[in-house]
Structure formats: C-alpha cells, structure tokens
Amino acid sequence: MIATVAFAFSGGVAVHARILRSELVAACPVIFALLILIGIGRRASVARPLGMAVAAALCALGLENKVQVILLIGALPVLVLPFGSTESASVPFWRHARIAWPAAIIAAVAATAAAWAAWPLIATGFDRALIEAAQFRPLLLGRFGIYQAALIVLIGACMTAYAVIWRVSAAETVASMSAIAAGALVALLALNIEYNTGNVIAVFNPLEKMLTFADAETAAAAGGSGLSGILWLLLDGVASVLARYTFVLHTSPRPTVFLIWLIVPGIISAWLRGERQAAIQALVLLLAATGIDALGVRRGLKSEYFIFTDPLIILAGAILLDSFADLRFHQWTYPVAVVLFGLHIAVGQAEPVKYALMRRGPEPICEWNRHYLPLLPLPWCPATRP
C-alpha cells in the first residue's frame, strides 16, 4: 500500500498526469510484469509458468509502445533473482516426472506454435535490407541481432540460476522458459493490428532505433569510436545520475531523490542487522535504476523518463521499510518524515506548476506532430488545417 501511494505521487506520474506521452503506456506493463514475477517467484504454484507467460506478454506490449523500455526489460531477469523464498521451491506437481514433463512438452509446443505465427514479423524485423532502408546502424560488431541474442541467453541463464538457488525443478524451468517465449511471441502479434514495417523493425531493433535520437557524442561512440569511448560515456552518465541523486550537486525535479537519501543508509543498516536478503533486493533495484537513468542522461534524463525508474526506487524503499518495522517508534521518525513529505510535495510539483503557468499555447507541438504522429493531425497546426 505504501509503495502504491508513493508511486501515485511520484514525479514520473505527476508529469504524465498532465501530458500525453507513450512512456507511461510502456512503463506500466513492464512494472506490472516485475510485480507479477516477484509475487509468483516468492510462492510456488502449479500455474506459475502461466504467470510468467503473462509477464512476458506485458513486457512485449510495453516494448511495442516505447522502445526505451527495453532497458527496463533487460534488467528484469537480474532483478528477480534475489526475490525467492523458502516457499519458492516447486510444488509436488512439478516434481512428479510423469505429469511434469508432459506439461513442459505442451508448453514447448505452444511456444513453437507462437513462433510459427510470429515468424513473418521476426523475418521482417531482422530483414537487413529493410533495416538499412530505415537508416539503422548496427550497435555491436557491425551486425544486427547480437544483443537480442545476448538478452535471450541472459534470461535463460538467470532462470537457470533462479532454479538452482530456490530449488525449482527442471521440468518447471523448461515449462516456464517455453511459457515466456509463447507469451512474448503472442503479444508481438499485436503489431499486425495496425501493421507498419517501420514499427516492426523498431520493436525488434530497439537500441538501434534509440540511436537515431541520440546526441552526436553517443552516436559517434556507438558508431565505432571504440570500447573506451562507450565506457567513458557510461561513466559520465553514472556520475551525472549520482550528482542528481544528491540534489545538492545537481538539482532535480524528482521527489524520489529524497527517498534515495534513506535507501542508501537503509541498505547498509539492513546488512549490518542481518537482513541480508532485503539489503540485496534493495541494492539490486537501486543499481538497476541508476544504470537505466545513466543511459537516459544521453537524452537529458527528462522528467518524462522518471516513470521507468521511479517504481524501482520506491519498491526498494518499501522493502527496507518493511524490514524496519520497529523504526516507526524511533523519536526522529516523525520529524524526518514531515521534512521529507514537505520536500516531496514542493519538489514533485515544481514541474507541473511550471507547465501550468507557461504562457505559450499548444503551438510547439506542431514542430513534431507531423513527424511522430502522422496519423493524428492536430487542428490548430497550420500545416494540418483543412
């Protein structure tokens, strides 16, 4: 409940409550997928592979709305690893070979059928001629499809590691892998509803699509300036994000910055108190948020992008708060909470107030409307008036 309220009043939601952008539509399904994976991972059930199929479908739907969400999707396999429990071990159904393996085979057949249905989209998405016509540049080694294959390997490796750590049976692991493939592939079929070759290529090559909007320095690094150039940009992005998190070195219209002030010492305190799993969970979430924000710096880390990482920071805070149940009786809890609430309201509403007091009209939208929304002309733009 606390995490829900904090997210509802976060900077990312505050911005998207006043402007219409696709980041909210893309981020929410992936965040829901993360919560589903955490929930079904902590307590085993017969239908757990079905839950994973739903999570994979939500991720694919989010990607179809905004390719930037690929960064959050890529972090999910690692994020879920520390969220197991003693109740994560497979239920008897998945430990009985005579019934578990037939169920796993059925899941594999479903994944194969989904792959057959989605194959035309896959072929189009990786068609070299179409990709080059879209003026995409390969991200790694002059070839397309490398990081996509690496992401599939990462998902498989993390699922295998999760199975070993939390005692998930081989049959359930295979069924879950097949369910994830089936869910994602079925969700990709939504591209056929309003088919557009450019959309298909962008979904299957999200990082290349993002590079078309990157600044000159990032484009040069990705275009072959060398590994050192890419690492330097990443370090520069991390430094910029850490400066923003301090708020003192770089002010930011982001209320969750002040939550980080509590999360960092909270992780240290939880570790020293013996709450090792809670500390690791919060640390992994915070590191993922930092990494995604560091990449977002290359596009200015606009307030619209907070919707991708605010939920991770808030979830980390909620986990630590749950592990410090006795904290509410401390003498400094109430005054510190009042100060943080005040800062949250003042800083969190700064951007919305700025937008509300702007004297300009809707005309600036006309600068990008025809390029980004060719099928949605706006009546007040001169070029689109009848």
Longest C-alpha distance within the chain, in Å? 70
Run of H or E residues at 195: none
At residue 134 the predicted structure's pLDDT band, cuts being 50, 70 and 90, is confident
* Model pLDDT for residues 312-326, shown as the tens digit of each residue: 998 998 888 888 777
Please return the burial class of 86, using the count of CB atoms within 10 Å of its CB with bins 0-12, 13-18 and 19+: exposed
Average pLDDT, the chain: 82
* Model pLDDT for residues 252-294, shown as the tens digit of each residue: 777 788 788 888 988 998 999 888 999 999 999 999 998 888 8
What is the DSSP code (8-state) at residue 85?
-
* Model pLDDT for residues 359-373, shown as the tens digit of each residue: 665 556 676 666 666
- CA-CA distances (angstroms) from residue 44 to 58, 211, 277, 321? 21, 40, 19, 25
Cα separation, 205 vs 187, in Å, equals 16
pLDDT at 38 over 80: yes
**How is residue 289 written in tokens?**
């948020």
The model carries a pTM of 0.84
Can you tell me the mean pLDDT for 211-240? 63
